[in-house]
Amino acid sequence: MTSTSHTKPNSDTENDTGKSSPSNSGGMRLVVPLQGVVQGRGGLILGSLIPCALFYFLQFYLKRHRPKPSACNPASPSTSSPNLAELHRSSSRLNLTTRSSVGRVFLSSRASVVAAPNDSPYYIGMDRFRADPYNELDNPDGVIDLGIAENRLSLDLIEKWISSNLNVSTLGGVGDGLNINGILTYQPFDGLAELKVALAGFMSQVMGEKVSFDPSRMVLMSGATPAIEVLCFCLADHGNALLVPTPYYPGFDRDIRWRTGIDLIPVHCHSSDAFMVDIAALRQAFSKARKRGQKVRGILISNPSNPVGNILSREMLHNVLDFAREKNIHVISDEIFAGSNYGGKEFVSVAEILDEEDADRDRVHIIYGLSKDLSVPGFRLGVLYSFNENVLEASKKLTRFCSASAPTQSLLVAMLSDTGFIKYYMRTNRERLRKVFDLFVAGLEQLGIKCMNSSAGLYCWVNMSKFICPYNEKGELELWEKLLNVAKINMTPGSACHCIEPGWFRCCFSTLAEKDIPLVMERIRKVVERS
């Protein structure tokens, strides 16, 4: 089949597929199928058509001689359609079942960011606690949580009131009957009018009866988190920014950024000024943002501060409002810890400042809720209070995505209307917060650990900088990991709160019973003594 002569190939003829050169007539030739057909005139066309024809002939043959379905596996009869088993399946349906997926199902870039694993120590510590929670009897070696700002010190007061008062009337009943229409049918998305009136009175009481609140300026939602997100959605566009003095609540990074696309610009404050808002730093941050071409739409302040626990003075609030007017931006005042004031320092709401001066009210908005001051985070009730009619109108429409449940609102109407209970609760809760705070701080001082002088909130701002090495964020996170993994104490490191000074931690003491404090200190001691 092949020639025995071994002639050196001619490279000039390797690219000539249509003619044979005399120089290779005696060279090696390989006989392949269809060689006589492919070579010569028209060979290129026939060499392409013949294999295709054979392939389709084979497909036709297999289709004609396909075996019939086995009688032992008849089609399942259908009770709804007797003739359904006789119907032939469409070719498109067959293609779906025989072809495998060509790739992963699409997920939006927004959802991809949300679905990514937690990267903030605040949420990592929260996950660790939920996976291994401490219990004195069932899990004594579990993680003790000092990371979540939840008030468990006065739950017994709420439990007692609910046990004594939960009846038909508290759920919207009339007389001896239950008003189903009041709790099971659609209610206004922005909240029941009766609850707005009750909340206006409660907020006024929390603020020391120094300011009154208009129920018509309230928009109620399922928590303070959706309230602040809806507000930011109304105030700024995607890519715009808010100035936020640091350290600030680590949840803001998710609550505000995720769906609105708004950027948060940390404005660094320092321990030398007790981490108070610095107007000069606000001006500098605003100017830098403008040079970058970024539009700043507002300033977000927490009063009382979270995580520091200090209270903004009246003078500071005036300065913040003056700065906002000068730059033509909004002011958002998160006052969710206003009633958790145990330090004796006067709390001043930004609403009170507006009553004192002829301010531009359209740019001022307040966030409040009952999760902290009333110890009912599971009720999910938040308040957006605004002086801006357009913000109120837009927010009311957006509450269709985050409205509070009607039964919860009916129960809260009854609770907040019980003025005797509310006064007793507020007084007792403040006493308990003060007592546990003092015990917690005293325990830390015995370990040589100092805290910022706090006046409000459910936490204290702890300085553990002398136990970190190196003195930077890396050293802080290494200490945090030891506290979480060795001592099994979940704290929030300052870097998660954008604190510029390493070594500060937020410790939420209101999750502890008095008897648990010695155990917490013993666990912390084992770590700091090795540092």
Residues with active-site annotation: 249, 334, 336, 372
- For residue 242, list its beta bridge partners: 264, 298
Rounded Cα–Cα distance for residues 228 and 223 (Å): 9
Question: 379: which 2 tokens?
Answer: 């009720």
Q: Tell me the C-alpha distance between 399 and 165, whole Å.
A: 29
Three-class DSSP labels, 248-308: CCCCHHHHCHHHHCCEEEEECCCHHHCCCCCHHHHHHHHHHHHHCCCCEEEEEEECCCCCC
Would you call 188 exposed, middle or buried from its count of C-beta atoms within 10 A (0-12, 13-18, 19+)?
A: middle
Instruction: Walk across the sheet containing 382-386 and list its strands.
Output: 218-221, 382-386, 364-369, 330-334, 296-302, 241-245, 263-267
How many Å apart are CA 248 and CA 310, to the nearest integer?
Answer: 12
Residues 269, 272: Cα–Cα separation, whole Å: 9
Would you tell me how many other CB atoms lie within 10 Å of the CB of residue 38? 17
Among 506, 497, 530, 515, which Cα is nearest to 250's?
Answer: 497
β-bridge mates for residue 490, sequence order = 145
Question: How deeply is 39 buried, as exposed, middle or buried, from its count of CB atoms within 10 A (0-12, 13-18, 19+)?
Answer: middle
Residues constituting the chain: 531
Which residues are within 8 A (CB) of 34 and not within 5 positions of it... i.e. 6 or more apart? 47, 50
Using alpha carbons only, what angle is made at residue 354 by residues 348 and 357, rounded to the nearest 5 degrees?
A: 115
d(CA 351, CA 361): 9
Strand-strand pairing, 364-369 and 382-386:
antiparallel
Angle at 148 between CA 256 and CA 226, to 5 degrees: 30
Q: Which helix (H) or strand (E) holds 191?
A: none
Radius of gyration of the chain (CA): 36
Helix (H) or strand (E) holding 501: none
- The full 3-state SS of 443-474, as one line of letters, equals HHHHCCCEECCCCECCCEEEECHHHCCCCCHH
Strands 144-145 vs 489-490: parallel, antiparallel or unpaired: parallel
User: Tokens standing for 371?
Assistant: 């999760």
Q: Please tell me the distance from the alpha carbon of residue 230 to that of residue 337, in angstroms, as a whole number.
A: 20
Judge whether 333 and 367 are in contact, CB under 8 Å.
yes
